[in-house]
Amino acid sequence: MEAIFFQILVGLSTAMLYWVVSVGLTFIFGVTRVLNFAHGSFYMLGAFFALALFKWTNSFVLSIALGSLAVGVVGLLCERGVIRFTYSLPVAFQLVLTFGLVLIFEDLVRFIWGSVPQMIRPLGLGVVTIAGRRFPIYSFVIMGTGLFLWIILYFLLLETKLGLMIRATISDIELAMANGINPHLLYAFSFFFGSFLAGLGGALTLPMCSASLGMGERIIIYSFIITVMGGLGNIKGAFMSSLIIGISESLCAFFMPSLTIAISYVILALVLVVKPEGIYGEA
Amino acid sequence: MERLSNKFLFFVLTSILLLTFALPLLSGAYTNYIIIKISILSLYAVAFNIMFGYCGLLSFGHAIFFSASAYTLGVSLTKLNLPIFVALLAGLLTSVIFSIIVGFLSLRHKEIHFAMITLALSMLFWGVVMKWRSVTGGEDGITGISRSISMIAYYYICIITVLSCLFIIYKIIFSDFGLLLEGIRENEIRVEFSAHSVVKLRMLAMIISGLFTGIAGILWAFLDGAVTPTIAHWSFSAVPVIAALIGGPQSFVGPIIGTIVYVIAEDFITRFTLYWQIWLGIVVVLIVLFFRGGIVGTIAKVVSEFYHSKLREKYREREN
Amino acid sequence: MREAIEARREFLKKLGIVGAGVVVCGSLGLPKAQASSRKRLKDKIKIGHIAIFSGPFGTYGELQKRGSMLAAEEINKVGGIQGSKVEIIYKDSRAKPAEAVKQVRRLVESEGADFIIGIDSSGVVLGVAQVMPELKKLLIVTHAATHKLTEELVYKKGNKYAFRLSVPTYQDGTMAAITAAQLPAKRWACVHPDYEYGYASWELFKATLKKLRPDVQFVGESWAKIGTTDFKPFISSILDKKPDGIHTVEWGVDLFTFVRQAKEMGLFDAVRYKDGYAWINPMGYSIDAMEALKKEYPEGCWVSGRYLWQYPPTELNEKFVKAHYRRWGHLPAYSGATSYTAVYLIKHLIELTQTLDVETHIKTLENLAIYSPIGEMLIRKEDHQAIYDVPFGQIKHDPKFPIPVLKNFLGMPAYMYFRRPPFTETPPYTGYPPFMSL
Amino acid sequence: MFFRVENLTKKFGEFTAVNNVSVSFEKNVITAIIGPNGAGKTTFVNLCSGLLKPTNGYIFFNGEDITNYKIHKRASLGIARTFQIVNIFQGLSVWENVKIPLLSRKNTRDIDNTITKLLTFFKLENIRYTTSSEISHGDQRLLEMCMALALNPQLLFLDEPLAGINPQDRGVIIERIVEMKRSGITVIFIEHDIESVLKMADEIIVMHKGEIVAKGPSSSIKENDFVKEIYLGGC
């Protein structure tokens, strides 16, 4: 019983990382209706930026903050430079365009940082003992960030004028435009914010694992699964499905380790076949 | 205009055809190999485009049909030692069965939901392929699928098979059935009100698409003599998507052009640099940005505009 | 030097294996004058090198490239192979079999490669080896470890065109188990990557260890897919099984993550014994892992590789390690060393046979004894596997070196733990345990 | 009874669009459904044609319970319809537009002749190869009716067939509708323009707030006080 509890706790920390990254994708989709395949690349960039900044500033908090902001700027530049020209095209074209961006970012990173995965020294936050097992304190940092983000997003969407604009745009773009909302400003902001979150996720993983090529490809699939499962563009849905995927993977690793590879696809397929619009429906 | 472009197209196609058949006599083995690859992937892309271009359904699950037939063939030949015709039939049958299953689960849904369900099913299938090691060989896949004929002979077999498949697909698309599919893409509800079951029509399209994808899968399995899980992975489902979008999903030749452009660009780039991704990425981005709606669509538009402006000039001259 | 080789050859003869010849792979090769006096066979000898250059395992291409490029530079500096320059063409396999096959075809059919070397993963090597008979060129594998290549493709199906200079999964499974048998641990568990290499290694490990130590138990298995960034669920579920020994063949970037998280969650502490950790990581001493983890990899873990820069302590190896360090600023990785050897092997093969005829090459390579930085190898005729031993050692943090070094080597002659044709019996063979004195 | 609904109810959340409607239609009669905006007329037609599923109630056609039949099944039984906003295949030619419903017939041998006949009936034969998005709005209305007719229906729903048509073109459409009745088709249509309604309809149904408030021959409906008050009041 204790083991299962611990496994769920471990799953929670995984889930929160998935949530931070995939809510960025969800947010971008909700506002712009673009499925951004390059989101994973932004995640990778977040890790590499933070790595470079850490070597320079030697401060983890500073490098995470600056690194993810820098990724936000890269996202903004991509949107202004390339993606915005494809808003009028069907979703599939944007997928292919952002796939092209993925290829470009992969090689740029390889060119700048080389292909050897890199690590920073561990933060040395230590562990706490829960249910007779050791649990890294850093995982609490990730969980805290995730929950904090949840609160911030709620605040942002419900209480601020920007949130109102965003909700208006999500529900009806034409009406929003008629009411004097400049959608391009909002699109640009959503890409900045979404990419910032991807970068934040990437930077947050740095003390746990390494900055490596191809790390974006692994996370993008999870982000897609979570975004689709929760309901495209639905932030609440993204939160719930992050939890489902994170915890079920963790439990699967305990009960049926050899099936962990497929569990998230099984869940996704089941959810979609029963409820194609996702758990909470499309925003 | 229509007539002219048709004649031109006919001329181009015939010369390409003749060249393709004469090529093994003129060029090196590698060129032949690449042409086989292009032809197989073209068939894959065109078969995929039955769903995408004509039904308006973006499938991310065609790797299932592709790998289902390839794996069935591989297993029947190397593990069960069945005769080749039985293996071929079994392969195609598996593709059809899987297209029915996938269709049954996904066809009620549309747009991005359809894409995502097919993606999920495709990854599920990939998981099975990876895990069912006693049959599929896991990550290593199945090797030793013997083609037992020379590459040149195989070249002709591939070209002829692909061309006849393309011809059949062409006939299907420009038949009444194709008109109905186009109708579905245009206006689904109207098709329903015209007393056609959209789901049934789509299912039929899915089966046809799956069948031809299966044929491509079989040709692929024989080409390298090996089947590995990479062809079941979602990224292999993305291959025809990219081809169709680059070439132009609204036309029959679009996916073929897309495949040719992509394969040749990739081949050209990897010849010179290990940093192939960045160049390929730039090519893809530029094509999406500057050939909006695909190469074929854009070229057709430019040509027709050119033609119209010529006409206008003529009128102006006459007026003057 | 010569005497040493001759002695080695005598030793091999005693084993009943008649070597067709002995070549020296490395910068101690044949004198320059002798080489250039022979006729030039070709303007340029082209070697196609296929490895993973992009994606998460792109490092492995880079590491191999360092080896083969160094060898080519050294050879070209002294006049190439009988006056022909060596050119190495690098291609990215992307870890995809079909892509690798395409690149091999292009190298041979369009770019005029005379040999193919490299290749990283088992699926890719099986795919590529299969087309070699059609292309009629030699394939010298320098990294991929699957024993299916040598046991099934070469031995059972008679594919004569593939050779392997790197150790197969015998190192990851059999030798790992032999090392494990020396440790007090009795409850073994594994954390493996979820694909063929993981399964094969674990099966060999279990079979061998059970034979040597009937008292051990295998208490848990954990299969993490390639590219896992969060090993915590796997580690905690393994910890729950209360193992006192861990066998893991994680490699590359996954290994970095795994070690870091295992340390945090106390998996190392669980397998501690008085002289170190009952932690067997056959590919742990990979240069990329050591450079990334440095002191994070706990002292006292048992690790190995397909070659260790400290072993064998020969002049040839020392020269190679120094040259490699001078050229690249890094110590050589195992796949770098095998690639280096492969290029030299090609040089000597051509000089020995005076031809580019592949059939002659195959005949010459079979039962050839090679003296290389990796050690003395014999290419076994039946399965085309280079037989050489790589010991296990315990990690030791030594401030004199940029990365951790290995101590307390534990090794065994390769012919005792490599499986032998017809590949039915579980090694180790007769006379266990005659450990090599190092 | 030719076409009959029983206790038909449709709720959208709290809002009841069609409330417990029971009504029957005779064969070969043109019935008009009138009523103010939001009376539930279109919802009623949508329920009958299968576009919406009723919350409650039954629909019978030729004595058969078709409540749970899908759209295409109803269409093949002979229930056709047009829409308030023209609903045709915009990207296809006029000819192809008519061909699609015809392809659902069992016997497709004489299809080209049938298309020509239909197009001639609606005076569309001169623009048969034009892409339908490029023809005039009135012609698009006619085309949609033509497509409905191609199903060889017994029952035809027309949702505001005159919407957006300028007065001089209305005559053609009205003429066609009356002619359809003559060839044995039962027509049920929604219309706001009361003059045209009176020209065409034999029977009139008045809907208000989801319920049928009056039903009867057009002459008597005109005299209905309730109708005068809520609908015809202005006239």
CA distances B22 to A127, B18, B32, B40, Å, are: 71, 6, 11, 18
The pLDDT score that the predictor gives to residue C102 is 93
CA distances D123 to B202, C385, D44, D127, D146, Å, are: 34, 84, 31, 9, 10
Tokens of residue C45, six digits: 């000898």
Q: Verify whether the Cβ–Cβ distance B179 to D76 is below 8 Å.
A: no
- CA trace torsion A87, A88, A91, A92 (10° rounding): -110
Tell me the mean pLDDT in the region B221-230.
Answer: 92
DSSP-assigned beta bridge partners for residue B62: none
Which residue in B139, B267, B276 is closest to C196 by CB distance? B139
Nearest residue to B172 (alpha-carbon basis) of B201, B214, B195: B201
Confirm if C45 and C346 have CB atoms less than 8 A apart. Answer: yes
Q: Verify whether the Cβ–Cβ distance B196 to D103 is below 8 Å.
A: yes
| pLDDT tens figures, A21-59 | 999 999 999 888 888 999 999 999 999 999 999 999 888
C touches D, CB cut-off 8 Å, minimum 3 pairs: no
Is residue A111 scored above 70 in pLDDT? yes
Q: Which residues of D37-62 are buried (b: 16+ CB within 10 A; e: fewer)?
A: eebbbbbbbbbbbbbbebeebebbbe
Q: How far is A200 from chain C (nearest CA, A)?
A: 15
| pLDDT tens figures, C123-144 | 899 999 989 998 999 999 999 9
Is residue A155 scored above 90 in pLDDT? no
Residues of D in contact with B250 (CB under 8 A): none
Question: For chains A and B, what is the number of CB pairs under 8 angstroms?
Answer: 120
Tokens of residue C284, six digits: 């742990």
Q: Verify whether the Cβ–Cβ distance C109 to B30 is below 8 Å.
A: yes
The whole-model pTM stands at 0.91
Tokens of residue D26, six digits: 């005779």
Tell me the mean pLDDT in the region B186-194.
Answer: 88
Question: For chains B and C, what is the number of CB pairs under 8 angstroms?
Answer: 85
Residue B194 CB contacts under 8 Å (≥ 6 apart), including other chains: B183, D72, D75, D100, D101, D103, D104, D147, D150, D151
Q: How far is B140 from chain C (nearest CA, A)?
A: 4
Residues of D in contact with B198 (CB under 8 A): 72
Mean of the per-residue pLDDT values for chain B?
89
pLDDT below 70 — which residues of chain D? 1, 108, 227-235
The distance between the two most distant Cα atoms of chain D, rounded to a whole number of Å, is 54
Is residue A108 scored above 70 in pLDDT? yes
Question: For chains B and D, what is the number of CB pairs under 8 angstroms?
Answer: 72
Residue B150 CB contacts under 8 Å (≥ 6 apart), including other chains: none
Q: What ipTM is given for this predicted complex? A: 0.89
3-state secondary structure chain A: CHHHHHHHHHHHHHHHHHHHHHHHHHHHHHHHCCCCCCHHHHHHHHHHHHHHHHHHHCCHHHHHHHHHHHHHHHHHHHHHHCHHHHCCCCHHHHHHHHHHHHHHHHHHHHHHHCCCCECCCCCCCCEEEECCEEEEHHHHHHHHHHHHHHHHHHHHHHHCHHHHHHHHHHHCHHHHHHCCCCHHHHHHHHHHHHHHHHHHHHHHHCCCCCECCCHHHHHHHHHHHHHHHHCCCCHHHHHHHHHHHHHHHHHHHHHCHHHHHHHHHHHHHHHHHHCCCCCCCCC
Q: Verify whether the Cβ–Cβ distance B228 to C123 is below 8 Å.
A: yes
Mean of the per-residue pLDDT values for chain C?
86
Confirm if C233 and C266 have CB atoms less than 8 A apart. Answer: no
Tell me the mean pLDDT in the region A159-174.
Answer: 77
Confirm if C82 and C39 have CB atoms less than 8 A apart. Answer: yes
The pLDDT score that the predictor gives to residue B1 is 41
Which chains does D contact via 3+ CB–CB distances below 8 A?
Answer: B
Residues of C in contact with A254 (CB under 8 A): 233, 236-237, 240
Is residue B71 scored above 60 in pLDDT? yes
Q: Verify whether the Cβ–Cβ distance B30 to C105 is below 8 Å.
A: yes
Tell me the mean pLDDT in the region A104-114.
Answer: 93
Measured CA to CA, the distance from residue D80 to residue D92 in angstroms comes to 20
Which chains does A contact via 3+ CB–CB distances below 8 A?
Answer: B, C
DSSP-assigned beta bridge partners for residue B178: none
Tokens of residue C178, six digits: 């032999």
Q: How confident is the model at residue A172 (pLDDT cuts 50, 70, 90)?
A: confident
DSSP B144-184: -----S-HHHHHHHHHHHHHHHHHHHHHHHTSHHHHHHHHH
Measured CA to CA, the distance from residue B230 to residue B67 in angstroms comes to 9
Q: How many CB atoms lie within 10 A of CB B164?
A: 11
The pLDDT score that the predictor gives to residue D232 is 55
Confirm if D197 and D166 have CB atoms less than 8 A apart. Answer: no
The pLDDT score that the predictor gives to residue B44 is 97
| pLDDT tens figures, A211-260 | 998 888 889 989 998 998 988 888 889 999 999 999 999 999 888 888 88
Give the residue on B whose Cα is nearest the Cα of D103.
Answer: B176
Q: Verify whether the Cβ–Cβ distance C229 to A205 is below 8 Å.
A: yes
Question: What percent of chain C has pLDDT above 90?
Answer: 44
The pLDDT score that the predictor gives to residue C30 is 46
Q: How many CB atoms lie within 10 A of CB D175?
A: 12
Q: Verify whether the Cβ–Cβ distance C195 to B271 is below 8 Å.
A: no
Confirm if A257 and A242 have CB atoms less than 8 A apart. Answer: no
Give the residue on A whose Cα is nearest the Cα of C287.
Answer: A116
Nearest residue to C86 (alpha-carbon basis) of C325, C338, C350: C350
Confirm if C162 and C154 have CB atoms less than 8 A apart. Answer: yes
| pLDDT tens figures, C404-426 | 999 888 888 888 888 888 888 77
Q: Angle formed by the axes of helices A260-274 and B111-131, to 10°?
A: 150
Residue D229 CB contacts under 8 Å (≥ 6 apart), including other chains: none
Which residue in A116, A139, A218 is closest to C229 by CB distance? A218
The pLDDT score that the predictor gives to residue C437 is 45
Confirm if D170 and D140 have CB atoms less than 8 A apart. Answer: no
Q: Where are the domains of chain A?
A: 16-212
Measured CA to CA, the distance from residue A87 to residue D101 in angstroms comes to 35
Confirm if B91 and B70 have CB atoms less than 8 A apart. Answer: yes
Is residue C436 scored above 70 in pLDDT? no
Measured CA to CA, the distance from residue C162 to residue C97 in angstroms comes to 16
| pLDDT tens figures, C232-244 | 889 988 998 899 9
Query: Which of residues B71 and B305 earns the better pLDDT score?
Result: B71
Residues of B in contact with C123 (CB under 8 A): 139-141, 228-230
Residue with tokens 């590879």: A261
Confirm if A67 and A195 have CB atoms less than 8 A apart. Answer: no
Residue B72: half-sphere exposure toward Cβ, Cα within 13 Å: 23
Mutate to test the interface with B, among D70, D71, D152 (most CBs of B within 10 A): D71
Q: Verify whether the Cβ–Cβ distance B140 to C199 is below 8 Å.
A: no
Residues of B in contact with A108 (CB under 8 A): 278
Q: How many CB atoms lie within 10 A of CB D166?
A: 9
The pLDDT score that the predictor gives to residue C32 is 46
Measured CA to CA, the distance from residue C118 to residue B274 in angstroms comes to 15
Tell me the mean pLDDT in the region A117-140.
Answer: 85
Q: Is the peptide bond before D36 cis (omega within 30 degrees of 0)?
A: no
Give the residue on C whose Cα is nearest the Cα of A111.
Answer: C54
The pLDDT score that the predictor gives to residue B2 is 46
CA distances B208 to A165, B204, B205, Å, are: 46, 6, 5
Is residue C90 scored above 60 in pLDDT? yes
Measured CA to CA, the distance from residue C221 to residue C230 in angstroms comes to 17
Classify residue C285 by its DSSP letter. Answer: -
Residue B310 CB contacts under 8 Å (≥ 6 apart), including other chains: none
Q: Verify whether the Cβ–Cβ distance B197 to D51 is below 8 Å.
A: no
DSSP-assigned beta bridge partners for residue B279: none
A146 touches chain C (CB under 8 A): no
B touches C, CB cut-off 8 Å, minimum 3 pairs: yes
Q: Which residues of D106-141 are buried (b: 16+ CB within 10 A; e: fewer)?
A: eeeeebeebbeebbebbebeebbeeebeebeebbbb
Residue C255 CB-density burial (10 A; 0-12 exposed, 13-18 middle, 19+ buried): buried
D200, amino acid identity: M
Confirm if A101 and A82 have CB atoms less than 8 A apart. Answer: yes
The pLDDT score that the predictor gives to residue D207 is 85
Classify residue D160 by its DSSP letter. Answer: S
The pLDDT score that the predictor gives to residue C7 is 52
Q: Which residues of A180-211 are buried (b: 16+ CB within 10 A; e: fewer)?
A: ebebeebbbbbbbbbbbbbbbbbbbbbbbbbb
Tell me the mean pLDDT in the region B67-84.
Answer: 94
Measured CA to CA, the distance from residue D58 to residue D214 in angstroms comes to 21
Classify residue D93 by its DSSP letter. Answer: B
Q: Verify whether the Cβ–Cβ distance B124 to A269 is below 8 Å.
A: yes
Measured CA to CA, the distance from residue C89 to residue C82 in angstroms comes to 20
Classify residue C168 by its DSSP letter. Answer: -
> Which C residues, 238 through 257, put their C-beta within 8 Å of a C-beta on chain A?
239-240, 252-253, 256-257
D134, amino acid identity: E
Measured CA to CA, the distance from residue A198 to residue A203 in angstroms comes to 9
Nearest residue to C49 (alpha-carbon basis) of C88, C76, C105: C88
Q: How confident is the model at residue B294 (pLDDT cuts 50, 70, 90)?
A: confident
Is residue C31 scored above 50 in pLDDT? no
Confirm if C287 and C311 have CB atoms less than 8 A apart. Answer: no
DSSP-assigned beta bridge partners for residue D125: none
| pLDDT tens figures, C312-351 | 888 888 889 999 999 999 999 999 999 999 999 998 888 8
Q: Tell me the domains of chain C and their CATH numbers.
A: 18-167+310-387 (3.40.50.2300), 170-305+404-437 (3.40.50.2300)
The pLDDT score that the predictor gives to residue B118 is 92
Q: How confident is the model at residue C33 (pLDDT cuts 50, 70, 90)?
A: very low
The distance between the two most distant Cα atoms of chain B, rounded to a whole number of Å, is 81
Tell me the mean pLDDT in the region C272-291.
Answer: 91
Residue B26 CB-density burial (10 A; 0-12 exposed, 13-18 middle, 19+ buried): exposed
The distance between the two most distant Cα atoms of chain A, rounded to a whole number of Å, is 60
